[in-house]
Amino acid sequence: MTLIEPSGKGLVYQGTLIRDKGEMLSLTDMWKAAGSPESQKPSEWLRQDATKAFVECVTGTLEVGQDHIQTKRGGRGVGGSTFAHWQIGLAYAKYLSPEFHMWCNSVVRAHMEGEKLPGIPAETLEQIERSFGIMRMVVHKVTEIEKALPGIVQHLVEPLVAARLAESAYLLRSGKTAKQIWDAHGLPPRIKGSALWFGNRLAEGGCLLEGRADRGEKAIRLYDPDKAETILGLGLLHKTKVYASERMGQGRFKLVEGRA
Protein backbone atom coordinates (compact mmCIF):
# COMPACT_ATOMS: atom_id res chain seq x y z
CA MET A 1 0.00 0.00 0.00
CA THR A 2 1.51 3.36 -1.08
CA LEU A 3 0.89 6.11 1.45
CA ILE A 4 1.65 9.21 -0.68
CA GLU A 5 2.24 9.04 -4.40
CA PRO A 6 5.98 9.47 -5.06
CA SER A 7 5.38 11.85 -7.96
CA GLY A 8 3.69 14.33 -5.61
CA LYS A 9 0.49 14.39 -7.70
CA GLY A 10 -1.69 13.53 -4.73
CA LEU A 11 -2.65 10.86 -2.24
CA VAL A 12 -2.97 7.18 -3.11
CA TYR A 13 -4.88 4.61 -1.07
CA GLN A 14 -4.71 0.98 -2.20
CA GLY A 15 -3.87 2.04 -5.74
CA THR A 16 -6.59 4.70 -6.07
CA LEU A 17 -5.61 8.36 -6.46
CA ILE A 18 -7.41 10.83 -4.19
CA ARG A 19 -7.22 14.27 -5.85
CA ASP A 20 -6.83 17.45 -3.86
CA LYS A 21 -6.81 21.11 -4.79
CA GLY A 22 -5.88 23.66 -2.18
CA GLU A 23 -7.75 22.72 0.99
CA MET A 24 -10.24 20.61 -0.94
CA LEU A 25 -10.36 16.81 -1.22
CA SER A 26 -12.28 14.73 -3.74
CA LEU A 27 -14.98 12.91 -1.78
CA THR A 28 -15.75 10.90 -4.90
CA ASP A 29 -12.16 9.61 -5.04
CA MET A 30 -12.31 8.79 -1.32
CA TRP A 31 -15.50 6.78 -1.83
CA LYS A 32 -13.84 4.84 -4.67
CA ALA A 33 -10.60 4.28 -2.72
CA ALA A 34 -12.47 2.89 0.28
CA GLY A 35 -14.40 0.49 -1.99
CA SER A 36 -17.69 1.54 -0.45
CA PRO A 37 -21.19 0.69 -1.80
CA GLU A 38 -23.47 3.03 -3.78
CA SER A 39 -25.45 3.83 -0.63
CA GLN A 40 -22.37 5.60 0.80
CA LYS A 41 -21.70 7.88 -2.17
CA PRO A 42 -20.92 11.53 -1.30
CA SER A 43 -24.33 12.71 -2.53
CA GLU A 44 -26.10 10.28 -0.17
CA TRP A 45 -23.91 11.21 2.81
CA LEU A 46 -24.32 14.97 2.24
CA ARG A 47 -28.12 14.60 2.43
CA GLN A 48 -28.02 13.35 6.03
CA ASP A 49 -29.04 15.77 8.78
CA ALA A 50 -25.95 14.96 10.90
CA THR A 51 -23.71 15.72 7.91
CA LYS A 52 -25.45 19.04 7.24
CA ALA A 53 -24.96 20.04 10.88
CA PHE A 54 -21.25 19.17 10.74
CA VAL A 55 -20.77 21.05 7.47
CA GLU A 56 -22.39 24.14 8.99
CA CYS A 57 -20.03 23.86 11.97
CA VAL A 58 -16.99 23.66 9.67
CA THR A 59 -18.07 26.66 7.61
CA GLY A 60 -18.76 28.72 10.73
CA THR A 61 -15.59 27.76 12.63
CA LEU A 62 -13.04 27.80 9.80
CA GLU A 63 -14.76 30.57 7.79
CA VAL A 64 -14.22 28.66 4.55
CA GLY A 65 -17.02 30.43 2.72
CA GLN A 66 -19.77 29.10 0.51
CA ASP A 67 -17.42 27.07 -1.72
CA HIS A 68 -16.62 24.49 0.98
CA ILE A 69 -18.34 21.87 -1.20
CA GLN A 70 -18.01 21.88 -4.99
CA THR A 71 -19.63 19.42 -7.33
CA LYS A 72 -18.36 19.19 -10.88
CA ARG A 73 -20.53 17.32 -13.36
CA GLY A 74 -18.78 15.09 -15.84
CA GLY A 75 -19.37 14.93 -19.57
CA ARG A 76 -21.01 12.17 -21.52
CA GLY A 77 -19.81 8.82 -20.16
CA VAL A 78 -17.74 10.52 -17.48
CA GLY A 79 -18.89 10.71 -13.89
CA GLY A 80 -18.76 13.94 -11.91
CA SER A 81 -16.72 14.60 -8.78
CA THR A 82 -17.52 16.24 -5.46
CA PHE A 83 -14.80 18.20 -3.67
CA ALA A 84 -15.05 19.41 -0.06
CA HIS A 85 -12.87 21.01 2.60
CA TRP A 86 -10.48 18.37 3.96
CA GLN A 87 -12.02 18.59 7.46
CA ILE A 88 -15.31 17.51 5.90
CA GLY A 89 -13.36 14.83 4.04
CA LEU A 90 -12.05 13.37 7.30
CA ALA A 91 -15.61 13.13 8.64
CA TYR A 92 -16.61 11.37 5.41
CA ALA A 93 -13.70 8.92 5.83
CA LYS A 94 -15.02 7.96 9.28
CA TYR A 95 -18.40 7.26 7.70
CA LEU A 96 -16.86 5.03 5.01
CA SER A 97 -14.77 2.60 7.08
CA PRO A 98 -12.63 2.42 10.27
CA GLU A 99 -9.37 1.47 8.49
CA PHE A 100 -9.77 4.17 5.83
CA HIS A 101 -10.55 6.72 8.54
CA MET A 102 -7.39 5.74 10.42
CA TRP A 103 -5.29 6.17 7.28
CA CYS A 104 -6.83 9.57 6.49
CA ASN A 105 -6.33 10.78 10.07
CA SER A 106 -2.58 10.32 9.74
CA VAL A 107 -1.63 10.57 6.07
CA VAL A 108 -4.30 12.89 4.66
CA ARG A 109 -4.18 15.25 7.64
CA ALA A 110 -0.39 15.51 7.41
CA HIS A 111 -0.57 16.10 3.67
CA MET A 112 -3.29 18.78 3.88
CA GLU A 113 -1.54 20.57 6.74
CA GLY A 114 1.66 20.70 4.65
CA GLU A 115 3.67 18.40 6.90
CA LYS A 116 6.34 16.11 5.49
CA LEU A 117 6.08 12.52 6.46
CA PRO A 118 9.42 11.14 7.65
CA GLY A 119 11.04 8.31 5.76
CA ILE A 120 9.39 5.08 6.83
CA PRO A 121 11.51 1.92 6.88
CA ALA A 122 10.27 -1.06 4.91
CA GLU A 123 9.82 -3.08 8.12
CA THR A 124 7.56 -0.40 9.59
CA LEU A 125 5.53 -0.27 6.37
CA GLU A 126 5.13 -4.04 6.57
CA GLN A 127 3.91 -3.76 10.18
CA ILE A 128 1.44 -1.03 9.17
CA GLU A 129 0.09 -3.16 6.33
CA ARG A 130 -0.22 -6.12 8.71
CA SER A 131 -2.08 -3.94 11.21
CA PHE A 132 -4.51 -2.81 8.52
CA GLY A 133 -5.06 -6.46 7.57
CA ILE A 134 -5.79 -7.39 11.21
CA MET A 135 -8.17 -4.43 11.50
CA ARG A 136 -10.07 -5.48 8.38
CA MET A 137 -10.32 -9.02 9.78
CA VAL A 138 -11.65 -7.73 13.12
CA VAL A 139 -14.21 -5.53 11.36
CA HIS A 140 -15.33 -8.54 9.33
CA LYS A 141 -15.66 -10.69 12.47
CA VAL A 142 -17.69 -7.99 14.25
CA THR A 143 -20.00 -7.78 11.23
CA GLU A 144 -20.47 -11.56 11.26
CA ILE A 145 -21.23 -11.50 15.01
CA GLU A 146 -23.82 -8.73 14.49
CA LYS A 147 -25.49 -10.86 11.82
CA ALA A 148 -25.55 -13.91 14.08
CA LEU A 149 -26.66 -12.02 17.21
CA PRO A 150 -30.45 -12.37 16.69
CA GLY A 151 -30.10 -16.15 16.48
CA ILE A 152 -27.84 -16.26 19.56
CA VAL A 153 -30.30 -14.15 21.56
CA GLN A 154 -33.20 -16.36 20.52
CA HIS A 155 -31.18 -19.46 21.47
CA LEU A 156 -30.59 -18.03 24.95
CA VAL A 157 -34.03 -16.53 25.52
CA GLU A 158 -36.09 -19.60 24.64
CA PRO A 159 -34.59 -21.79 27.45
CA LEU A 160 -35.00 -18.92 29.94
CA VAL A 161 -38.66 -18.51 29.01
CA ALA A 162 -39.19 -22.26 29.21
CA ALA A 163 -37.56 -22.34 32.66
CA ARG A 164 -39.74 -19.45 33.85
CA LEU A 165 -42.88 -21.19 32.61
CA ALA A 166 -41.80 -24.45 34.23
CA GLU A 167 -41.19 -22.63 37.53
CA SER A 168 -44.62 -21.02 37.35
CA ALA A 169 -46.25 -24.38 36.53
CA TYR A 170 -44.43 -25.98 39.48
CA LEU A 171 -45.69 -23.29 41.85
CA LEU A 172 -49.25 -23.77 40.64
CA ARG A 173 -49.02 -27.55 41.05
CA SER A 174 -47.32 -27.66 44.46
CA GLY A 175 -48.41 -24.46 46.21
CA LYS A 176 -51.69 -23.31 47.70
CA THR A 177 -53.02 -19.85 48.36
CA ALA A 178 -53.67 -18.57 51.87
CA LYS A 179 -57.43 -18.70 51.18
CA GLN A 180 -57.22 -22.34 50.05
CA ILE A 181 -55.43 -23.32 53.28
CA TRP A 182 -57.87 -21.19 55.32
CA ASP A 183 -60.91 -22.88 53.73
CA ALA A 184 -59.38 -26.37 54.08
CA HIS A 185 -59.39 -25.97 57.87
CA GLY A 186 -63.05 -24.91 58.02
CA LEU A 187 -62.28 -21.36 59.11
CA PRO A 188 -65.14 -18.81 58.78
CA PRO A 189 -65.46 -17.39 55.25
CA ARG A 190 -66.00 -13.80 54.13
CA ILE A 191 -63.88 -12.02 56.72
CA LYS A 192 -62.43 -8.93 55.09
CA GLY A 193 -58.63 -8.93 55.11
CA SER A 194 -58.36 -12.44 56.51
CA ALA A 195 -56.46 -13.85 53.50
CA LEU A 196 -53.80 -11.13 53.76
CA TRP A 197 -53.44 -11.55 57.54
CA PHE A 198 -53.27 -15.34 57.29
CA GLY A 199 -50.82 -15.17 54.36
CA ASN A 200 -48.48 -12.94 56.36
CA ARG A 201 -48.56 -15.40 59.28
CA LEU A 202 -47.76 -18.29 56.92
CA ALA A 203 -44.88 -16.29 55.42
CA GLU A 204 -43.50 -15.57 58.89
CA GLY A 205 -43.53 -19.32 59.51
CA GLY A 206 -41.40 -19.96 56.40
CA CYS A 207 -44.18 -21.44 54.24
CA LEU A 208 -43.92 -18.91 51.37
CA LEU A 209 -42.65 -20.40 48.10
CA GLU A 210 -40.06 -18.40 46.16
CA GLY A 211 -41.44 -16.42 43.24
CA ARG A 212 -45.01 -15.62 42.44
CA ALA A 213 -47.33 -17.60 40.20
CA ASP A 214 -49.59 -16.00 37.63
CA ARG A 215 -53.29 -16.72 37.81
CA GLY A 216 -55.34 -14.74 35.36
CA GLU A 217 -54.13 -11.15 35.23
CA LYS A 218 -52.35 -10.94 38.60
CA ALA A 219 -49.48 -12.57 40.45
CA ILE A 220 -50.31 -14.39 43.68
CA ARG A 221 -48.36 -15.70 46.64
CA LEU A 222 -48.33 -19.48 47.12
CA TYR A 223 -47.41 -21.46 50.23
CA ASP A 224 -46.05 -24.93 50.92
CA PRO A 225 -49.10 -26.85 52.25
CA ASP A 226 -46.93 -29.35 54.21
CA LYS A 227 -45.10 -26.61 56.10
CA ALA A 228 -48.42 -24.87 56.65
CA GLU A 229 -49.83 -28.00 58.29
CA THR A 230 -46.83 -28.13 60.62
CA ILE A 231 -47.03 -24.55 61.89
CA LEU A 232 -50.82 -24.71 62.12
CA GLY A 233 -50.44 -27.70 64.43
CA LEU A 234 -47.88 -25.76 66.50
CA GLY A 235 -50.35 -23.05 67.44
CA LEU A 236 -51.10 -21.00 64.34
CA LEU A 237 -54.50 -22.68 63.90
CA HIS A 238 -55.58 -21.69 67.41
CA LYS A 239 -54.26 -18.15 66.88
CA THR A 240 -56.15 -17.93 63.59
CA LYS A 241 -59.44 -19.10 65.19
CA VAL A 242 -59.06 -16.41 67.88
CA TYR A 243 -58.39 -13.81 65.17
CA ALA A 244 -61.46 -14.94 63.18
CA SER A 245 -63.63 -14.93 66.30
CA GLU A 246 -62.55 -11.41 67.21
CA ARG A 247 -63.13 -10.14 63.69
CA MET A 248 -66.60 -11.73 63.56
CA GLY A 249 -67.39 -10.29 67.00
CA GLN A 250 -66.43 -6.83 65.80
CA GLY A 251 -68.75 -7.29 62.85
CA ARG A 252 -71.68 -8.26 65.09
CA PHE A 253 -70.92 -5.35 67.41
CA LYS A 254 -71.03 -2.90 64.52
CA LEU A 255 -74.27 -4.44 63.26
CA VAL A 256 -75.98 -4.12 66.67
CA GLU A 257 -74.60 -0.61 67.09
CA GLY A 258 -76.05 0.36 63.72
CA ARG A 259 -79.51 -0.92 64.68
CA ALA A 260 -79.43 1.05 67.92
Total domains in the fold of the chain: 2
Note whether residue 6 is domain-resident: no
Note whether residue 127 is domain-resident: no
Q: What integer pLDDT is reported at residue 117 of this predicted model?
A: 47
From 149, 158, 64, 160, select the one nearest 112 (Cα to Cα): 64
Q: What integer pLDDT is reported at residue 69 of this predicted model?
A: 66
Confidence check: pLDDT of 175 > 70:
yes
Mean pLDDT, residues 223-245: 90
Confidence check: pLDDT of 128 > 70:
no
Note whether residue 125 is domain-resident: no
Note whether residue 223 is domain-resident: yes
Confidence check: pLDDT of 122 > 50:
no
- Burial of residue 187 (number of CB atoms within 10 Å: 0-12, 13-18, 19+): middle
Q: How far apart are the first and last CA of the chain?
A: 105
Confidence check: pLDDT of 59 > 60:
yes
Residue-number span of the structural domain to which 197 is assigned: 178-259
Q: What integer pLDDT is reported at residue 66 of this predicted model?
A: 55
Note whether residue 150 is domain-resident: no
Last residue of a domain, one of 69, 88, 119: 119
Q: Which tens digits make up the pLDDT trace of 9-38?
A: 568 998 899 998 888 899 999 999 999 999
Which residues lie below 8 Å from residue 129, measured CB to CB, with a gap of 6+? 1
Note whether residue 140 is domain-resident: no
Q: What integer pLDDT is reported at residue 42 of this predicted model?
A: 93
Last residue of a domain, one of 73, 93, 119: 119
Note whether residue 131 is domain-resident: no
For the ranges 1-5, 103-107, 163-167, the one whose mean pLDDT is highest = 103-107
Q: Do residues 64 and 85 make contact, with C-beta atoms less than 8 angstroms apart?
A: yes
What is the Cα 74 distance to its own chain's centre?
Answer: 44
Task: Please tell me whether residues 32 and 99 are part of one structural domain.
Answer: yes
Note whether residue 152 is domain-resident: no
Last residue of a domain, one of 102, 119, 136: 119
Which residues lie below 8 Å from residue 72, measured CB to CB, with a gap of 6+? 80, 81, 82, 83
DSSP for 133-164, written as a single string = HHHHHHHHHHHHHHHHHHHHHHHHHHHHHHHH
Mean pLDDT, residues 90-105: 93
Q: Do residues 84 and 24 make contact, with C-beta atoms less than 8 angstroms apart?
A: yes
Q: What integer pLDDT is reported at residue 94 of this predicted model?
A: 93
